[in-house]
A and B are shown apart, each in its own frame.
Chain A
Amino acid sequence: MTGKFGTYGDMAKKGLEIALEEINAAGGILGREVQYVIRDEAEREQVLTNIRDMVERDKVEFLVGIDSSGDSLKIAPVIEDELHVPFIVTHAATPKLTECKKRKYVFRVSMYEEPIDLAAAKLVAERYPDAKRIANIGPDYAYGYDSWKAFSTYLKKFKPDVELLEPVYPKLGTPDFGSYIDQLIAMEPDVVFSSLWGGDAATFIKQAVYKGFFKKVKVYLNAMLGATDTLKAIGSDVPKEAEVWGSGRYWFEYPPHDVYTPNKLFVEKFKKRYGEYPAYVAATSYTALYAIKHAIEKAYLLKGAWPTTEEIISALEGLTVPAPMGPVYIRPEDHQGVYEVFWGKLTLDPAYPHPVLKDLVIFGPGEVFPPPLTTVVEC
């Protein structure tokens, strides 16, 4: 018998492969070789179908992955009610997945959006005490609305005198942000908070640079700017006249390699094998696999035989995994992994093939993770 996994995305695949190789080279999990099955998330409609097929037909025992928050919320009830396999989420970031009700089979080892937004609010309150007018741009779906809700709610708490301007929500995948850029400029904001991600985040910045946006807006925060695909897309179009802050679920240079070996080893192996720096989802996928391995081993130690799904779930609760992003502690109450949050400045550095984040400001999990099963977002 072997363990199988289903997951998505090219970077995720790369991260998984490294983990798989390492684990299998060391004898697998308790001597069993680990295999995986990968399905593409691309077609929204196919996600549920693929997941059902993987579990029912291909008999996968664990699911790892999921990028879209919407998809994760769609899949969770099906997993909880019908499919009954542990599902370790590695990127979907909506708080609703873990904080609205406790789920049995769903876990998440990646950061969700609320701690990052809370940290952003802290950053603005501390660094820009004179900022009054705050604007927002985000994709036109739950992730966009929730990010703004979280950020603005916390900012109001830290800095009650801010004026929250009318949020702007372009459709996900909007090709032309021209109108939105002009709208934002017209609002004359001191700070613009953005929850655009992926291609949109890059497209926005590129188009904004050439429309003089950053001459008018001096502070721009974008939670998902730390993603390597976005950074590559931005290329040399890094704004020079404004302070652009980015964050993400993992930054390959944090924790610093001279201080934290797991990250050093992971990044070196990844760079050597694939010729690029790992994106966050590679790190979180890698972490997910190790979480499963450690959980199974821990449960085995307690039981003396291959553990049941229930026993594996119990072992996952309260587990700390030495992940590339730092030690990740999986809270038993909501199955959410917690670790340090960072915000860094977008900078061009010729030593790297793409822009990077520098001057990182670090927030400990205790500072920025809301207590389990609480969220400012509507459930």
Chain B
Amino acid sequence: MKAKLAVILLCIAALAALPKAAGRHYTYVTAEALLLGLVAVSFNILFGYTGLLSFGHATFWGTGAYTVAVLMVKFSKPFPLALAASLLTSLAAALAIGYLSVRHTKIYFAMLTLAFGELFYAVAVKWRFLGGSDGIYGIPKPTGSLISYYYVVLAGVAASLAIMWWITQTPLGLTLRAVKDNPMRAEYIGISVKRARLASFVVSGVFAGVAGALYAPLAGAVSPEFFSWTKSAEIVFVTLFGGAVSFIGPTIGALIYDYMRHLAMGMTEHWMLIVGSLLVATVLLFPQGVVGAAQAAWRKVRR
């Protein structure tokens, strides 16, 4: 317990020291990776903890990002207000989509979430108020500079992760796991499976929205691709790659993935080939992800 806390504090300290040590480029990449990690962890609440595979998680990432973009660029509102608003819009979207989706499972659930994602994408592409296929650009950084905004992102991610971790430790968190392992048994002992799943969906969606909202000023622009199923698939991949079996696994996956992405994009145009192959390899060879594989190796070493 103490050791874990020490490790966490060490990580935070290292991340805080990053800008001075590594420069603007790595600061940007790390901020981007941390936000991808946040949305992946939020996805994992739904997937790893509740057993629901959503192929439309990018819907909430996009909702949060677009809310901030619209409010800051079109209505010149300050960032704190935009962030708060994005909490509300993600909540609303998650409630609506979740309510309709959690009555189904497995493939139907996946298809429904995918369909909703594509619906949001279609609206974003056609609606000129949202910028159409070009999206919205020129989103300012609320704190002015990249480095100072990095700390905002760091704080936001840390706070969100802490809250989600706390949720997994509450009775709700245990309920979710029970629902995942054996829904029939859970129902039998009095848990409303649908309500538990909806709660999970909403928590998951809201934090995905927060991640998207924090990302918009970082990138400076949003576009309909934020809602696409390919973005959703990236979130799923990063989660699985890092390890859906642990809370922080998805973030580790995101960090590795994003660093690799920047590196590979600098070397080849065919970066997607590497991602695709990694995905296939992960599924075939180490479906427990990097963290899962590391844990297994550690157990072997211990013996």
Chain A residues within 8 Å of B, Cβ to Cβ: 39-40, 42, 44-46, 48-50, 52-53, 56-58, 69-70, 73-74, 76-78, 81-82, 140-142, 171-172
Bound-state Cα–Cα, A70 to B125, Å: 13
Interface mask (B44-84 → A, CB under 8 Å = 1, otherwise 0): 00000000000000000000000000000000000000000
Against A, the Cβ 8 Å flags (1 = close, 0 = not) of B5-35 are 0000000000000000001110010000000
Q: Which residues of A contact B146 (CB under 8 A)?
A: 82
New A-B pairs, 10, CB < 8 Å, besides A46-B265, A70-B135, A78-B220: A40-B269, A45-B223, A49-B262, A70-B134, A74-B134, A74-B135, A74-B137, A74-B220, A82-B146, A140-B133
**For residue A142, which residue of chain B has the nearest CB?**
B134
How far, in angstroms, from A171 to B132 measured CA to CA in the complex? Answer: 11
Q: Which of A44, A58, A172 contacts B266 (CB 8 A)?
A: A58
With A58-B266, A77-B138 as known contacts, state yes or no: A48 contacts B220, CB within 8 Å: yes
Residues of A within 8 A of B219 (CB): 48
Cross-chain contact A141 with B133 (CB below 8 angstroms): yes
- Which residues from A are CB-within-8-Å of B134? 69-70, 73-74, 141-142
0/1 interface trace, chain B 221-253, chain A, CB 8 Å (1 if under): 101010000000000000000000000000000
C-alpha spacing A72/B219, complex, angstroms: 14
What CA separation (Å) do A69 and B133 show in the bound complex? 11
Closest to A82 in B: B146
Write 28 A-B pairs (CB below 8 A) sorted by A numbering: A44-B225, A45-B225, A46-B265, A49-B262, A49-B265, A50-B265, A52-B25, A52-B28, A53-B266, A56-B23, A56-B28, A57-B262, A57-B266, A69-B134, A70-B135, A73-B134, A73-B137, A74-B134, A74-B135, A74-B223, A81-B140, A82-B146, A140-B126, A140-B132, A141-B132, A141-B134, A142-B132, A171-B125
Name the residue of chain A whose CB is nearest to the CB of B266.
Answer: A53
Most buried by B among A46, A57, A74: A74
B223 and A44 form a contact (CB under 8 A): yes
Docked Cα-Cα span, A69 to B135, in Å, equals: 12
- Is B225 touching A56 in the complex (CB atoms < 8 A)? no
- Chain A: minimal CB distance from B126 (Å): 8
Q: How far is the CA of A40 from the CA of B265 in the complex (A)?
A: 9
The 3 closest A-B pairs by CB, nearest first: A70-B134, A56-B25, A74-B137
Interface residues of B in 129-148 (CB under 8 A from A): 132-135, 137-138, 140, 146
Shortest distance from the beta carbon of A204 to any chain B beta carbon, whole Å: 19
**Which listed residue, A56, A58, A76, A81, touches B24 by the CB 8 Å rule?**
A56
A379 nearest CB across to chain B (Å) = 12
B265 CB contacts on chain A under 8 angstroms: 39, 46, 49-50, 53
Kindly provide the distance from the CB of A105 to the nearest chain B CB, expressed in whole angstroms. 15
Contacts of A57 in B (CB 8 A): 25, 262, 266
CB distance from A217 to the nearest CB of B (A): 27
Which chain B residues border A78 with CB–CB below 8 Å? 220-221
Instruction: Count residues on chain B whose CB falls below 8 Å from chain A CBs.
Output: 23
Which residue of chain B is the closest to A80 with respect to CB atoms? B138
CB distance from B102 to the nearest CB of A (A): 30
Interface on B for A, CB 8 Å cutoff?
23-25, 28, 125-126, 132-135, 137-138, 140, 146, 219-221, 223, 225, 262, 265-266, 269
Find chain A residues with CB under 8 A from B133 CB: 70, 140-141, 172
In angstroms, Cα B138 to Cα A74, docked, is 7
A77 touches B28 (CB 8 A): no
Chain B residues closer than 8 Å to A46, beta-carbon distance: 265
CA distance A138 to B255 in the complex (A): 41
A155 → chain B closest CB, angstroms: 23
**CB nearest neighbor in A for B144:** A81
B270 nearest CB neighbor, chain A only: A40
Contacts of B24 in A (CB 8 A): 56
Q: Quick check: A77 and B25 within 8 Å, CB to CB?
A: no
Specify which chain B residues have a CB less than 8 angstroms from the CB of A53 in the assembled complex.
25, 262, 265-266
A67: min CB distance to chain B, Å: 13
Residues on A with beta carbons closer than 8 Å to the beta carbon of B137: 73-74, 76-77
C-alpha gap A48/B25 in the complex (Å): 13
- By a CB distance below 8 angstroms, the chain A residues around B125 are 171
Task: Give Cα A171–Cα B140 distance, bound, in whole angstroms.
Answer: 30
Nearest CB on B from A59, distance (A):
10
Least Cβ–Cβ distance between A322 and chain B, in angstroms: 33
Cβ contacts under 8 Å, B132 to chain A: 140-142
Minimum C-beta distance from B39 to chain A (A): 15
Contacts of A44 in B (CB 8 A): 223, 225
A82 to B288 Cα, complex, angstroms: 40
Across-interface contacts of A56 in B (CB, < 8 A): 23-25, 28
- B3, chain A: closest CB distance, angstroms: 35
Instruction: Give B56 Cβ to nearest chain A Cβ, in Å.
Output: 18
- In the complex, A60→B292 CA distance in Å? 40
Q: Which residue of B lies closest to A52 (CB)?
A: B28
Most chain-A Cβ atoms within 10 A of its Cβ — which of B126, B133, B265?
B133
Residues of the B chain whose Cβ atoms lie less than 8 Å from the Cβ of A70: 133-135, 223
Q: Report Cα–Cα, A53/B28, bound state, in Å.
A: 9
Among residues of B, the one whose C-beta sits closest to the C-beta of A45 is B225
Measured CB to CB, the closest approach of chain A to B278, in angstroms, equals 17
* A46-B132 Cα distance, complex, nearest whole Å: 18
Within 8 Å CB of B28, what residues of A?
A: 52, 56
Q: Which residues of B contact A45 (CB under 8 A)?
A: 223, 225
In the bound complex, residues from chain A placing their C-beta under 8 Å from that of B269 are 40, 42
Q: Bound complex: CA of A70 vs CA of B135, how far in Å? A: 8
CB of A149 to closest CB in B, whole Å: 13
Residue of A at shortest CB range from B261? Answer: A49
Q: How far is the CB of B26 from chain A (nearest CB, A)?
A: 8
**Which residue on chain B has the smallest CB distance to residue A42?**
B269
Cβ contacts under 8 Å, B135 to chain A: 70, 74
Kindly state the separation between the CA atoms of A365 and B125 in the bound complex, as whole angstroms: 35
- Tell me the nearest residue of chain B to A50, going by C-beta: B265
The smallest C-beta distance from B233 to any residue of chain A, in angstroms, reads: 13
| Bound Cα distance from A40 to B134, whole angstroms | 18
Q: Which residues of A contact B140 (CB under 8 A)?
A: 81
CA distance A81 to B220 in the complex (A): 10
Cα distance, A52 to B32, chains bound together (Å): 12
Given the contacts A56-B28, A70-B135, A74-B135, A48 and B266 also touching, CB distance less than 8 Å: no
